[in-house]
């Protein structure tokens, strides 16, 4: 290896640094090695200044909404599948209701969610955006999708009736 390095950089012994290091005083009697011609490194601040305290009320609201959205999304998905597979509205409603979290589970998830937000210092500055986006996604999935599907089916039905009337005339 030394021979390889010596061949690549003739005139320099193997392992010699390519830049010259010089000591600079730290003020505590020790020297810090810095590259000549460069500014010494600036120490990093561990805690950002002006970071807001944890807002537990907002965390509770976000978690409450998130659990509600999860329940609504699961219910809408199961209802749509049950309706498609069976064609029975009552059975679809029953299936949709059966997947919702009961109070004991919802309370546990909410308490754990708030505790995790606090533990991991979740930035709640974006809570309004999260709530808006989450609500729109669940609404779109639970209302818009089935509505479009129903409109397509009704359109196909009306076209079929018009075609029958056309043939009969």
pLDDT of 64:
93
Q: Count the domains in the chain.
A: 1
Q: Is residue 100 part of a domain?
A: yes
Residue 105 has pLDDT above 90, yes or no: yes
Q: Is residue 149 part of a domain?
A: no
Q: Give the integer Cα–Cα distance in Å for 148 and 155.
A: 10
Predicted TM-score (pTM) of the model is 0.54
* Number of Cα atoms under 13 Å in the Cβ half of residue 63: 20
Q: Is residue 120 part of a domain?
A: yes
Cβ–Cβ < 8 Å for 57, 124 = no
Which position has the token pair 């056309």? Answer: 166
Residue 136 has pLDDT above 60, yes or no: yes
For residue 122, give its domain range.
56-141
Band of pLDDT at residue 96, cut at 50, 70 and 90: very high
Q: Is residue 87 part of a domain?
A: yes
Cβ–Cβ < 8 Å for 40, 26 = no
Residue 19 region by backbone torsions, left for phi larger than 0, else alpha for psi between -120 and 50, else beta:
beta
């Amino acid at each position: 290896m030394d021979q390889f390095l010596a061949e690549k950089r003739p005139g320099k012994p193997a392992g010699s640094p390519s830049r010259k290091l010089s000591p600079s005083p730290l003020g505590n009697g020790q020297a810090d090695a810095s590259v000549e011609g460069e500014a010494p490194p600036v120490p990093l601040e561990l805690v950002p200044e002006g970071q807001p305290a944890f807002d537990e009320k907002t965390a509770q609201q976000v978690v409450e909404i998130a659990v509600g959205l999860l329940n609504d999304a699961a219910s809408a998905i199961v209802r749509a599948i049950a309706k498609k597979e069976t064609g029975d509205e009552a059975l679809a409603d029953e299936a949709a209701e059966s997947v919702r979290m009961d109070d004991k589970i919802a309370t546990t998830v909410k308490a754990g969610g708030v505790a995790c937000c606090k533990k991991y210092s979740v930035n709640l500055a974006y809570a309004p955006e999260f709530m808006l986006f989450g609500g729109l996604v669940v609404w779109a999935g639970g209302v818009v999708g089935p509505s479009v599907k129903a409109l397509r089916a009704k359109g196909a039905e009306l076209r079929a009736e018009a075609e029958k009337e056309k043939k009969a005339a």
